[in-house]
Amino acid sequence: MEEQKEVETPPGFKTYILVSYELKNLKPIKKIEVSHKLYGHAQMKNGKRYEFGGIIKSMKGLKVGKGGLLLPAEFREDIVRFFDGYSIKYLMMQVYRKEA
């Protein structure tokens, strides 16, 4: 991946990364595994509901449509390692979001 130069964050904004990814080259079982790790999942066992949070929630990120994520920039290396670990194709763009 091409190295990007650092750009100073404008005042009143926070730096995020917009990530577009595709899972079409993965086997169905790996797609489910990746989805569960990214977004979490719930399951019923012995009449009890168990919820498992995903890494997107722990990163305080957002799902942006199908195959899209918006994550705080400090998690860039974490998500790159995750995608590279599964050989997932992805594109990233640095964006700025106005702070509330």
Yes or no: say if 91 and 4 are a contact pair by the CB < 8 Å rule: no
Q: Can you give the pLDDT at residue 92?
A: 96
In a domain, 70, yes or no: yes
Q: Which of 65, 78, 75 is nearest to 94 (CA)?
A: 75
Per-residue pLDDT tens over the stretch 7-49:
778 888 899 999 999 999 999 999 999 999 999 988 888 888 8
In a domain, 77, yes or no: yes
Whichever domain contains 67, its CATH number is: 3.30.70
Per-residue pLDDT tens over the stretch 53-85:
899 999 999 999 999 999 999 999 999 999 999
Q: Which of 24, 13, 17 is nearest to 68 (CA)?
A: 17
In a domain, 7, yes or no: no
Domain around 36: 13-98
Our count of domains for the chain comes to: 1
What's this model's pTM, rounded to 2 decimal places? 0.80
